[in-house]
Amino acid sequence: MAAMPTFRPTRLLVTGGAGFIGSAVVRGILARADAKPSLERVVVLDALTYAGHEVNLEGCEDDARFAFVEGDICDRGLVERLFAEHAIDSVLHLAAESHVDRSIESAEAFIRTNVNGTFTLLDAARRAWDGKAGDAARFVHVSTDEVFGALGDTGVFTETTAYAPNSPYAASKAASDLLVRSYFRTYGLPALVTNTCNNYGPRQLPEKLIPLMITNAAEDKKLPVYGEGRQIREWLHVDDHAEGLWAALVRGTPGESYLFGSGEELNNKQMVELIADTVDEHLGRDPSTSRGLMHYVPDRKGHDFRYAIDASKAERELGWSAKKKLAAELRETVRWYLANEAWRRTVSSEEHRRFQRAYYGHAESRGTAGEGESKR
């Protein structure tokens, strides 16, 4: 039995709402019956970078509570204005640079958005909520399990695992988590952190492992796998994550952190094989057509071996657990990408293609343009 809500959001700001997880969160919240009595406004703030697309929020504008603002979380004037104009009492902060490989090419945008942007939001919230009681506002910062570094064959991350980020992406997220902690400890800002394993589901940009492999297989392009494909990841459906973020918002305790995971682990080779088989099945192709497209490329620099999560605190304190099973949901996910070719074309921006060419397309050993295994 889930504990009773301790906070009821009325005027919610969702940053990064046009991205993969953010759009699932916004859609989920607008559809919630239990949010309806108190929720008056959902304001999405998104800079629409190469990773953010309004098409992900299609249909949300039909809800009178929804407002979309194109803008940067680093723009202090804009952020302060939004807090004041919409009388924001709650924040789900998802806006981020999120792709590990991009952070290896250049970390600058990651430091700017993930560190400075989070600081700007925290500081605006602190000023806007100054004098409000702790139970009158909430700030939920959405983060990753990558802040904990890498595990070996055994063990799991818990909320008390020491931070040991290895990629510039993970380091920028770790820095933002620590800023959130400091704003709680120093100013009493009612903020909390969530750390989550790899997500999958509809509307994820095909730079990340699962949608990239599905679209490449469908288009008869190579399926590059880093190293020997031995890296192990835990996979959580994006709707389960969205449900967890709502639970953290309404039942989470400020100053705490919560880990969300599914317990479903696969190594990258197994995941690519599963996708390959599922795509062949959906397209009515000979089995192993897509497996024939798999090839191994030099490993990512500093590639973490394994991530795994103990989600028992979220279960105990938030009444949350993952409901969706990978076996069934991966089939649905493959079906969604194959059925939504127009979406795939819309989100494939020039910048997305540039990075694919520059990072994965330059060396023969990495294959041709448009390829590259990517974490997340």
Active site members: 145-146, 169
358, exposed or middle or buried, with CB in 10 Å at 0-12, 13-18, 19+?
exposed
Residue 216 or residue 262: which is nearer to ligand NAD going by CB?
A: 262
CA distance 217 to 239: 25
Is 113 a residue that touches ligand NAD (CB under 6 A)? yes
244 binds ligand NAD (CB under 6 A): no
Cα–Cα distances (Å) from 205 to 21, 250, 285, in that order, read 11, 29, 25
For ligand NAD, the closer CB: 90 or 143: 143
Q: How far is the CB of 374 from ligand NAD (least distance, A)?
A: 11
**Is the C-alpha dihedral spanning 5, 194, 226, 209 positive or negative?**
positive
Task: Let me know: does 198 contact 231? Beta carbons within 8 Å.
Answer: no
DSSP H or E stretch at residue 106: none
| HSE-CB of 94 using CA atoms within 13 angstroms | 29
Is 46 among the residues that bind ligand NAD (CB under 6 A)? yes
Residue 66, Ramachandran bin (φ over 0: left; ψ between -120 and 50: alpha; else beta): beta
With contact defined as beta carbons under 8 Å apart, do 315 and 321 qualify? yes
With CB under 6 A as the contact rule, which of the stretches 33-41, 70-78, 80-88, 223-231 interacts with ligand NAD? 70-78
Q: Compute the least distance from the CB of residue 121 to ligand NAD, in Å.
A: 10
Count of CB atoms situated within 10 Å of the CB of 289: 15
Q: Is 171 in the site for ligand NAD (CB under 6 A)?
A: no
Q: Which of 96, 100, 180, 314 is the binder for ligand NAD (CB under 6 A)?
A: 96
Considering only 11, 12, 13, 22, the residue that binds ligand NAD (CB under 6 A) is 22
For the bound state, the minimum distance from the C-beta of residue 47 to ligand NAD, rounded and expressed in Å, comes to 4
Under the binding rule (CB under 6 A), the answer on residue 74 touching ligand NAD is yes
Candidates 11, 12, 20, 191; binder of ligand NAD (CB under 6 A) is: 20
Closest distance to ligand NAD from the beta carbon of 96 (Å):
3
Burial of 75 (0-12, 13-18, 19+ CB in 10 A): middle
Q: Is 73 in the site for ligand NAD (CB under 6 A)?
A: yes
> Binding residues for ligand NAD, how many (CB under 6 A)?
33
Name residue 373's amino acid. E
Residues within window 49-68 making contact with ligand NAD, judged by CB under 6 A: 49, 51-52
Residue 29 CB contacts under 8 Å (≥ 6 apart), including other chains: 12, 14, 35, 39, 42, 242, 246
Pairing label, strands 41-46, 11-15: parallel
Looking only at the bridges linking them, the beta strands covering 294-297 and 11-15 are unpaired
Instruction: Give the nearest residue (CB) to ligand NAD.
Output: 19
98 is a site residue for ligand NAD (CB under 6 A): yes
Residue of the chain from 7, 72, 174, 272 that contacts ligand NAD (CB under 6 A): 72
> Residue 12 in contact with residue 39, Cβ under 8 Å?
yes
Nearest-CA neighbor of 86 among 13, 189, 139?
13
**Of 144 and 278, which CB lies nearer to ligand NAD in the complex structure?**
144
- Please report whether residue 16 would count as binding ligand NAD according to CB under 6 A: yes
Interaction residues for ligand NAD, span 303-342 (CB under 6 A): none
95 vs 293, beta carbon nearer ligand NAD: 95
Please identify, using beta-carbon distances, which residue of 159 and 283 lies nearer to ligand NAD: 159
Is residue 196 close enough to count as binding ligand NAD by CB under 6 A?
yes
Of the two residues 9 and 52, which places its CB atom closer to ligand NAD in the complex?
Answer: 52
Of the candidates 90, 103, 198, 268, which one interacts with ligand NAD according to CB under 6 A?
A: 198
139 contacts ligand NAD (rule: CB under 6 A): no
Determine the 3-state secondary structure of 245 from DSSP.
helix
Contact positions vs ligand NAD (CB under 6 A):
15-16, 18-22, 45-49, 51-52, 72-74, 94-98, 113, 117, 142-144, 173, 196, 198-199, 205, 376
